[in-house]
Structure 1
Amino acid sequence: MVSAVDHEPEAAERGLARVAQKLAGWTEKWFPDAYIFAAVGVVLVAVLAMINGASPVAVAQSFGGGFWDLTAFTLQMAMVVLTGYVVATSPPVAKLIEWLARRPNGPRSAIAFVALLACLVSMLNWGLSLVFGGLLARAIARRKDLAVDYRALGAAAFMGLGSVWALGLSSSAAQLQATASSIPESLLQITGVFDFGKTIFTWQSLLSAAVLIVITVIIAAFSAPRGAAIRTAEQMQVDLNDEPEPAGKPTRPGERPEYSPILPWLLGLLTLGWLINEFVSKPFLTVASSLNGYLLVFLMLGLVLHGTPRRFLDAVAKAVPATAGILIQFPLYAAMGAVLTEAEGFNGTTVSHRVSEIFTALGGGGWFAVVLVIYTALLGLLVPSGGGKWLVEAPYVMQSATDIGMNLGWTVQIYNMAEALPNMINPFFMLPMLALLHLRARDIVGFTGLQFMLHLPVIILLCWGLGMTFTYEPPVIP
């Protein structure tokens, strides 16, 4: 017999959370893989280019010519995921996670704690945040003295990627704009190159990140189920055993270097020497904005933290599957961007030029920011990739910003704040963490969907209000 108490969790989740979970169930059933959206996007852009007067030959040439334009950036974005995963799964970080898991004293404070740390870590590396947050949620769920809702813990662990990741050091758009070699030539001629001092290190961006983190933590805490509505990992029959595999031993002389810490420490010292020299000989923002330097430090940090090459290589092997979506989708985004900006139609115009005219017609001031937030959030449901979507949007958005005298650095940050929003309801980037947590998207979207609803008006106000504190700076074309 099922008691009335058994019905209480379902009754407690009426309203917004229940609607959001039904939406998640619908998307799981009907949404195709994100690669399909990228492929459809290329076809749609090609059709629009031909409607705009471009010949099929010109469209095909732009597609093929631009397909590999972003090979370097594609590898860089894949390495962001890989390095974050490797660092997060290292033994010292695992011990840190276990220690942190013992800090909260109650269910709500535990969920708020996970959300806070996930957001703070995402300011360093969004891949690291995704794995770190998931492992922390599992560690807290293992505590026998604390009954915490496992779904709310999972949602809190995801909030780094769902809230502020794009305002941090691994921001795809900010990193792209700071790396001349990664910017497509057509975009480079519009925006030039600008470092983090114009984007993520502005006081307006840092204030926005702080506001969003506070709001995220408050919502996570006060939306957490209580009492009989709580569903623990044990009740959901989730296996929480995270015992590491025992370290192997060399079976022949040639394997001995794989199990020795000497090479990791030597490479770590070389990296440290290089990093110190960079900061001594170059401006701080130049070094901090270097995507290649950022990835080098994280990769070598992962090697040192794992202790031996064998442990490091095992962690890399586990991380590689999480990079598959980036590796096969980014070439399509590059091709899409090339068709948008290079396939000329009537009067020598491109689709990018036509769309930029629409944005330019909005004029300066707040309306541009408001429309850009809404447009970026909606497009993110179809193109769930911060870097890939920026390559699609940037040519016409940045051209429009230049035409109306909008600060280009703040335009990037408007994009960054809005870009994170669709992650809260689109399950694409949830998948690696959900696999780690042994949950389904529908289990957490009720909570992340609430975050989406409450973040949207706040982001619109931040982008509109803080945008008024900027002045236009002409791009510096190298």
Structure 2
Amino acid sequence: MQALTRISLKFVEKCLPNAFLLAMVLSIVVFLLGMIFGGQSASTMFNGWGEGFSKLFTFAMQMSLILLTGFVIAKTPSVSNMIDRLASIAKTPTQAIGIIAVFGMVTFYINWGFGMIAGAFMAREMGRRVPGLHFPLAVAAAYAGDIIRGMTASIPLLMATEGNFMQNVVGVIPVTDTLFSWWNLGLSAVLLFLVYWVFTRIKPEVDEIRPFKDVILDTPAEKVDTKGMPWVEKLEHYRILNLALAILPLGYIIVNFQQIGFNLNLNMLIVIFLAIGLLLQPSPASIGTAVKEGVLACRGIIMQFPLYAGIAGMVQVSGLADGISNWFVSIANIHTFPIVTFISAGIVNIFIPSGGGQWAIQGPIMLEAAKNLGADIPQTIMAFTWGDAWTNQMQPFWALPLLGVAGLSARDIMGYCLMWTLICGAAIMATFVLLSMI
């Protein structure tokens, strides 16, 4: 484990550019690949970039709202107190890393935005409390939980949504067949054990340890003295307004579930987490503060998402994604198809780190092939979903909010994440091999 970690750290230190530079480089590389291997003209690639640039605005807004509602929940007094109590348990760096890894995986399972921010806060609190803790390792352990495909996994949620773009091919696939299938829950449990086992066995040398440095001042919610305030300003500090507004999303959730059952999709999850944030935050003013900090933390996504949407447009118009997907499909059979889907999704995800955007390009190819081969459709969907998550571990795009809160750069944690990528990838592929034997 130590040898693998050192190799990963050295590789990242020498070869990984910062996240924004990586997006720029990938844009140029895909542009050139589209002309060289896709046989497209420069004007076609320009058009592909321009059309792709705006195509995912709706999905980008959904992702931003999931992150922001997760941030609002993470900044509530209830969650802050929970983090404080959990952090008080650790007495050694190894104990701290283990708690961070498990906490990160569990919170990412609930909501990736919530896990991203709550995991960063947990790492920061452990960094303050535990002497000798290597802070980059703590943050990497928190981010490792992003591998889990939980309640906010966009692809299975999309496929469970009435009117999805593949409904005419495979129909609506409920989350009970994908996210909440016995084999997917079992794989999630295995990864929870592995993330604890792997990260608690990494032992940095004494001269390598980088302690936590508080580069961001936390602003916990405090009771505000409203004496002398104009009445309209006082309203900003009354919790009753939060509770009154929460009636709307809560009422919609109840009515929706009564009418069409347990229907989890991206829009519904945003509503659910908005309701939770309204109930747990002490006032409208505290919500405004949390949202302000949340926008700052996800500024990298806001800035880079259009670039990756442009890359997705070029990949699509050039046929590069189709070529990769079709090549993998050509070498697959009914037993190997889920693993082939997993690897294919992982490769393309490096260029398009957006599950929904990538699924829009590759999904039709993979589902048509799965249907023709007689492969299991829910397993194909989840294999693609896991493949999309797999290479997120070595693509710093989605780590930007967590890094913003932690005050670190991608190079500080990606060596550990690369090592985790190799291990969790092997575990996921082994799971689909076993499923093919059943």
- Relative to the length of structure 2, the TM-score reads 0.86
Question: Pairwise mapping of residues 18-417 of structure 1 onto structure 2 (< 5 A)?
Answer: 18-29=6-17, 32-33=20-21, 35-36=23-24, 39-40=27-28, 43=31, 47=35, 51=39, 68-143=54-129, 146-161=131-146, 163-164=147-148, 167-180=149-162, 183=164, 185=165, 187-225=166-204, 228=206, 231=209, 233=211, 237-238=213-214, 242=218, 244=220, 251-284=229-262, 287=263, 289-324=264-299, 326-327=301-302, 356-417=325-386
Counterparts of 1:351 and 1:433 in 2: how far apart (Å)? 31
Q: Deviations over 1:339-382 (max 9, x none)?
A: 77789xxxxxx777655543332232343333333333233333
Counterparts of 1:178 and 1:324 in 2: how far apart (Å)? 30
Cα distance change, pair 466–40 in 1 and its aligned pair in 2 (3 A): farther
2:437 maps to 1:451: no
Counterparts of 1:341 and 1:14 in 2: how far apart (Å)? 40
Q: Which amino acid aligns with 1:384?
A: P
Partner residue of 2:431? 462
Counterparts of 1:351 and 1:447 in 2: how far apart (Å)? 30
Q: Deviations over 1:395-444 (max 9, x none)?
A: 32222222222222211211222222223223222232223222333332
SS of structure 2 residue aligned to 1:208: helix
Gaps (5+ residues) in structure 1? 1-12, 344-349, 470-478
Cα distance change, pair 62–151 in 1 and its aligned pair in 2 (3 A): closer
Partner residue of 1:8? none
Cα distance change, pair 178–360 in 1 and its aligned pair in 2 (3 A): same
SS of structure 1 residue aligned to 2:254: helix
Q: Deviations over 1:196-216 (max 9, x none)?
A: 122101111111111111111
State the shift of 1:461 in Å. 0.9
Cα distance change, pair 462–301 in 1 and its aligned pair in 2 (3 A): same
Q: Deviations over 1:160-218 (max 9, x none)?
A: 11x21xx201112122222345x4x4x55444432212210111111111111111111
Q: Which amino acid aligns with 2:14?
A: W
Counterparts of 1:399 and 1:339 in 2: how far apart (Å)? 23
State the shift of 1:230 in Å. 7.0
SS of structure 2 residue aligned to 1:179: coil
Task: Give the conservation status (yes or no) of the 8 Å contact 1:87–1:128.
Answer: yes
Task: Give the conservation status (yes or no) of the 8 Å contact 1:115–1:160.
Answer: yes
Gaps (5+ residues) in structure 2? none
Task: Give the conservation status (yes or no) of the 8 Å contact 1:152–1:224.
Answer: no
Cα distance change, pair 142–325 in 1 and its aligned pair in 2 (3 A): closer
- Number of equivalent positions: 436
Cα distance change, pair 86–354 in 1 and its aligned pair in 2 (3 A): same
Q: Which amino acid aligns with 2:357?
A: G
Counterparts of 2:406 and 2:312 in 1: how far apart (Å)? 36
Task: Give the conservation status (yes or no) of the 8 Å contact 1:377–1:421.
Answer: yes
Task: Give the conservation status (yes or no) of the 8 Å contact 2:19–2:397.
Answer: no
Q: Which amino acid aligns with 1:21?
A: L
Q: Deviations over 1:55-113 (max 9, x none)?
A: 99988877766665544323212211111111111222111110111123433222111
Task: Give the conservation status (yes or no) of the 8 Å contact 1:82–1:322.
Answer: no
Percent identity between matched residues is: 27
Counterparts of 1:355 and 1:155 in 2: how far apart (Å)? 30
Q: Which amino acid aligns with 2:198?
A: I
Counterparts of 1:444 and 1:339 in 2: how far apart (Å)? 30
Stretch moving more, 386-395 or 58-67? 58-67
State the shift of 1:446 in Å. 3.3
SS of structure 1 residue aligned to 2:395: coil
**RMSD, aligned CA:** 3.4
Q: Deviations over 1:200-248 (max 9, x none)?
A: 011111111111111111111112447x467262xx6555864537565
2:17 maps to 1:17: no
Cα distance change, pair 373–389 in 1 and its aligned pair in 2 (3 A): same
Stretch moving more, 300-309 or 68-77? 68-77
Partner residue of 1:476? none
Partner residue of 1:5? none
Counterparts of 1:135 and 1:105 in 2: how far apart (Å)? 18
Counterparts of 2:168 and 2:308 in 1: how far apart (Å)? 19
Larger gyration radius, structure 1 or structure 2: 1
Q: Deviations over 1:295-349 (max 9, x none)?
A: 1110122122221111101211221244455556656666776777789xxxxxx
2:394 maps to 1:425: yes
